Structures are given as structure tokens and as C-alpha cells.
Amino acid sequence: MSVSRVALFLLLLFPAAAVAAPEEYVLGRAVETALERNFSVTAAQAGHQAAVSETNASRSAFGPVFKTSYGLERRQHDRSPLGQAQDKELYAWSVSLTQNVFSGFADLSALQRAALAEESAGAGIAKARIDLANLVQEHFFAYLRAKQEVISARDALERLRSQLASSKAFYAVGVSPRLDVLQAEVDVSTAESALLVAENTLETEKVRLNTLLVLPSEADVEYVGDFVFTPFVLSMDACLERAYRSRPDLIIAEKAVEIAGKDVRINQSAFYPQINAQAMWSTSGDTWSASGSAQRPVRFSEWNIGLSAEWTFFEWGRTWFQVQQARHTQAKIRAEADNLRQEIIFSVRERLLALGEAAQRIQVAKKAVEQATEAYRMADARYRSHVGTMTDVLDAQAKLSFAEASLAGAKADYSIALSRICAAMGLINPNLEAM
């Protein structure tokens, strides 16, 4: 019988085997899926489109404005107070064209402001993507750490149950006291509680990842992979150079300073006259076509063209104070941008230190696990040979569990620190590959 026929026979015999395996997500795929689906990125993209529309709206201020109006006026008398004949019903239609000639640079500044806001919104998309990638990576490694903690907790529980069985056997033949059995039972209960906590943490991290990837919270997926130990060789200066060049929040801050400068210019435009050119054509009559009447057989339509200027000379210092307000706002935003640069220096330095610390902890924790494993083996062997005590075994078990948890924590902290240093430089590195 061929292999395919055997497989078909097994599927028919055991239908449960036909159930599809959980979908698997490795680190890079999880990040890319989140970047494609997550609503925070969609919101940033919609904000950018809104900024593009605002730029187009500001650009339209440079073109002429075309207006038309149509109206009906009904009079009670067909004579004016001076006795002149007039239409009892007057239809009027007018068309006007207005072109702004000079607005004190307000329109130009508004267009430049909108263009800067559009660039800032574009940087907002990049910021949303970087923040999301970092968040997915952090929770991905938190999930792997929780999975490792569940494995360690189960191993610890099995060891303690084995010790409990040995204690009961020794107590049954009168070799060890009842106290050893009670101590072993207490430690088994504690280990069972720790396992429940670890399993709940694992499930919580899985739900969080499902949420970030816009999957149903109960989706049957599996996040697989291992902690990343990619060497990081960039210096502090190299990291800062990349951060200054790529950090979208710094770009947004710099654009905000420029936008505040345009706000100052817009407020200053009130010091200048507003000049408009206008052309208008109108017609009137006693019918809906507004094409004259018995009272106005000729010249029922007319046109005019002109230039108007409006200049406000005094408003009790209102414009001056508005300009001062805009300047102080600009100074505030500039100071915030300078402060952000200082925070970037601290952030990069802090994350580099965290990365180096985690790398050293991994080496120490690996040696501690080796030593704790050997210590537990020796303590267990001594107890079974009636040379050591149960207290020695339980103490060795506790130290082994702590060493395993420390190693998993150090690996997770290194991976998370690597993700954070990439985010601090304004970079997205889905698989956290060497740079």
C-alpha cells in the first residue's frame, strides 16, 4: 500500500487528525502582519490624507472666486415714494468674479503651513509604524519568555512531585520523617500555583499579540521562534547620527517649529492692506428670465469691474498681541524640540546600556543554570542515598528554577532591548537582523 493510501486510510479512521494545525507566526511575519492590518497605522494614513486635502484647500485660495446669485423681490405698490413707476415683481440675477491681489502674505503662509503639516503627517505614519513594530516585538518576546516560564514551571513541578513520591516512599518504610513529606507537599502546591500564573501570563500575551495583529482574541494561532542574540556593534555616536536623521518624532517636532513660524506670519498679515479685484455682471426684469420689463426696456443688464482695498489701522493692539502670542508659542515649540533632542540622547544611551547589561546577564545565567542543574543532581542523589536531607533537595530545586527563570528573562530582555534601540534610532527591523 502506498504512503498516500496509508495517509488517507488514517484520516478516514481518525477524523480528528484532519483538523488543521494552528497557524504559525514567526517574528518577522508577525511584525509585517501588524503593519499591514493594525488600525493605528490606518489612522495615521487617514490623518496624512486629511493633511493632503488641507494643502489642496489652501492652494485654492490663490485662484479667483466665482459666485452667482438669483432672487425675487415682490413689492406692494407699483410706484415708488417719488411717484416713479416700478415693477411689482423684480427678478434679479448676478455673476461675480473676485481675485485676491494681496492679503499680506496670509494665503502664502497658510499654504506653506499646510504643506508642513502634510509632511508632519507623513512622518506621523512612520512614527506609528515604528511604535507598532516595537510593540509587537516586545510582546512577541514576552510571549516567548512566558512560554519558557511555563516549561520551567512544569519541569519544576515534575521534579517536586518526584521528590514528594520519594519522600512518601521513604516515610512509609521509616527512613525519613513525616516533616519531609509535609515540606514536599507544600512545595508542590506552590509550584502548581506558579504554573497557573505562568500559563495565565502566556495566554494574556497571546491575546495581546492577536489584538495587535487584528486577529480574533481567541484565534488558534501559534507564535514560534527563539530569542534573538544578534550582536550589536554600533557606537553611541553612530546611533545618535541615525536617530537624528531618521526619528519621525524629531521630524514632527522640527515641522512644528516651522508651522509655528508660519502662524506668526499669518498673524502679521493683519498689519497689511487686503486688496481684491472684482468683476460683476447683473441683470433684472419682471419675469423669471430677468431680461427687462416695460419699466426698463433697455439697460436692464450691466457690468462693472473694480479694485478694492481694505486696511484696518487700529484695534486696540489686538493684532500686535496675537503676533506676540504666536511668537511665544513658536518659542515654546522650539524649546520642546530642543528638549526632545536631549531625550533622544538619554534614550539611546539608556537602551545601549540595557542591551549590554542583558548580554552580560545571559552569559552569567547560562553558567548559573549549569551549576544549579549539577547541584540539584547531586542533592537528589545524596537524598536517595540517605546521605543528604530533603531540605537540601528542595533548596537546590528552588535555585535551579530561579536560574532557569533568570536565563529566560535575560534572553527576553536582550531581545526587547535590541528592538528598543532600533526604535530609538527610528528604524524598523522586523527580524532584528544584524546592523
Residue, of 17 and 421, whose pLDDT is higher: 421
Who contacts 181 (Cβ-Cβ below 8 Å, separation ≥6)?
164, 167, 168, 171
pLDDT on residue 10: 45
pLDDT above 60 for 15: no
Domain 22-62+103-272+317-424: CATH class, spelled out: mainly alpha
Least confident of 201-215, 241-255, 258-272, 291-305: 291-305
What is the chain's mean pLDDT, rounded?
87
Helix (H) or strand (E) holding 304: strand 301-310
Compute the distance between CA of residue 148 and CA of residue 122 in angstroms, rounded to an integer: 40
The predicted structure's pLDDT at residue 80? 60
Res 2 pLDDT > 80: no
Which of 40 and 61 is assigned the larger pLDDT? Answer: 40
Q: Output the pLDDT for position 18.
A: 43
Query: What percentage of the chain has pLDDT greater than the value 90?
Result: 54
What mean pLDDT comes out for the span 62-74? Answer: 91
pLDDT of residue 105: 84
Nearest-Å Rg of the Cα atoms of the chain is 39
Mean local confidence (pLDDT), 224-249: 91
Q: Give the mean model confidence (pLDDT) for residues 220-224.
A: 91
Quick one: cell of 141?
518576546
2 φ/ψ angles, rounded to the nearest 5 degrees: -70, 165
Across the range 94-119, mean pLDDT stands at 90
Task: Give the list of residues 6+ apart from residue 43 with CB closer than 8 angstroms, or none.
Answer: 128
Stretch (H or E) spanning 338: helix 318-384
192 has a pLDDT exceeding 90: yes
Q: Is the pLDDT of residue 365 over 80?
A: yes
pLDDT in tens, 126-153: 999 999 999 999 999 999 999 988 988 8
Residue 184 has pLDDT above 60, yes or no: yes
> Which has the higher per-residue pLDDT, 74 or 225?
225
pLDDT over 50 (residue 117): yes
Burial (CB count <10 Å: 0-12, 13-18, 19+), residue 136: buried
Q: Which of 41-55, 282-296, 310-324 has the highest mean pLDDT?
A: 41-55
Share of the chain above pLDDT 70, in %: 91
Give mean pLDDT, residues 349-372: 93
Using alpha carbons, list the distances in angstroms from residue 383 to 69, 167, 170, 387.
103, 10, 10, 6
Q: Which helix (H) or strand (E) holds 321?
A: helix 318-384
What is each CA distance from 358 to 116, 351, 373, 414, in whole angstroms? 41, 10, 22, 5
